[in-house]
Amino acid sequence: MNVIKIKKWVSNIITSLLFLTLIFTAVVVISSKASGGEPTVMGYQLKTVLSGSMEPGIQTGSIIAIKPGGDMTRFQKGDVITFKESEEKLITHRVMEVKGTGDNTQYITKGDNNDAADLDPVLAANVVGEYKGFTIPYIGYLLSTAQSKTGSALLLILPGILLLLYSGITIWKAIKEVDVKKDASTISN
């Protein structure tokens, strides 16, 4: 492969990445604003991890995907669930034991990085969803920023500006190449 083809491939990859970043960011920000909270992508809710209780499997600052809904009494030992500790606080921990059945189902949970089980059992009615193993480290910090007005504006505008700047540079280089070829053909005639 010659240098020109390599440059073209790199240019196409950069353009594609910037465009995909812009689209992804727009979807996350719009989804977050529309739902009034955490964004939802293809039926999964994205949640930000704020503590290290599930490390090393789920790192602080990561985003995780949970599957909301369904029968919240279905979970078994070893499943990872997200539940309401209070109206403002969600926790994602592993089920260590299941007590009761039906509407009386309770879960004894524990963070993988914690020494002991959580003090209070979790009622099935307080379970929000199940963690399905999807995590992206450190993106949770970005997601938290996206939920603020300034952050959402910045996350929508910045990739767009980068894409425009990169497009402008690409167009400028193309025009420069055309001018060089035009000058070369004028000299040869």
Burial bucket for residue 89 (CB in 10 Å: 0-12, 13-18, 19+): exposed
- 37's CB contacts (< 8 A; 6+ apart) are none
Structure-token pair, residue 148: 């603020």
**Residue 167 falls in the annotated catalytic set:** no
From the candidates 51, 86, 144, 167, give the one annotated as an active-site residue: 51
Cα 170 from Cα 152, distance rounded (Å): 28
- The C-alpha atoms of residue 165 and residue 18 are separated, in whole angstroms, by 11
- Contact indicator for 158, 146 with CB cutoff of 8 Å: no
Distance of CA 105 to the CA centre of its chain: 31
Q: Which residues contact 143 (CB under 8 A, 6 or more apart)?
A: 28, 32, 38, 39, 46, 48, 63
Catalytically annotated residues? 51
